Amino acid sequence: MKRLAAARKSGDVSRLAEAIPYARWMNIAPENSTGELLTRMRYRETLIGNTFLPAIHGGTLGALLEMTAIFHLLWESEAETVPKIVNITVDYLRSAGPRDVVAAAKVTKQGRRMVNVFAEAWQDDRGKPVASASAHFLVKSSEESEPSL
């Protein structure tokens, strides 16, 4: 919670990823240099799922979209714990080449306990997304849960 509060106070969103081992391992981190919260998955050869095309593994695009939604909720909704994912549906729109992938999320519906988030990922052209996802998360308010970050 201290880390989360510090990250919010400093305005440095990249610090959100520091506490999540999987985000660090995947080189997935948020950035807000453009004023908009974006999440970037830095390209490395170990992301490849199809060596013949070559293309980034679809599973990692799902992972990026899920992390994008989580960072969005941590940043925008003042959640104090990592939101618990209930389900996610990923649509694969284009194959993703061996380059960075960037994603953005928005809250479609904010309920008291449940949030619906839509996220979209692209490479060179935001108008040509490589994948999109819609996901549900359980969120708790700060009074009823232990802080985690």
**Toward other proteins, which CB reaches closer, 23 or 73?**
23
Q: Which of 25, 23, 20, 21 is nearest to 4 (CA)?
A: 20
**Toward other proteins, which CB reaches closer, 2 or 34?**
2
Q: Which of 13, 30, 41 is nearest to 3 (CA)?
A: 13
103/48 Cα distance (integer angstroms): 18
**Toward other proteins, which CB reaches closer, 38 or 65?**
65
Q: Smallest distance from the beta carbon of 121 to other proteins, in angstroms?
A: 13
Q: Smallest distance from the beta carbon of 20 to other proteins, in angstroms?
A: 6
**Toward other proteins, which CB reaches closer, 34 or 67?**
67
Q: Smallest distance from the beta carbon of 97 to other proteins, in angstroms?
A: 12
Inter-CA distances, 124 with 8, 101, 128, Å: 29, 8, 8
DSSP letters, 32-52, are -TTSS-EEEE---GGGEEETT
Q: Backbone phi, then psi, for 83, in 5-degree steps?
A: -60, 145
Q: Smallest distance from the beta carbon of 112 to other proteins, in angstroms?
A: 20
Residue with tokens 């909720």: 73
**Toward other proteins, which CB reaches closer, 13 or 80?**
80
CA dihedral over 98, 88, 19, 34, signed as positive or negative:
positive
Interface residues toward other proteins, by CB under 8 A: 19-26, 45-53, 55-60, 62-64, 66-67, 81-82, 84-92, 95, 146, 148-149
Q: Smallest distance from the beta carbon of 35 to other proteins, in angstroms?
A: 27
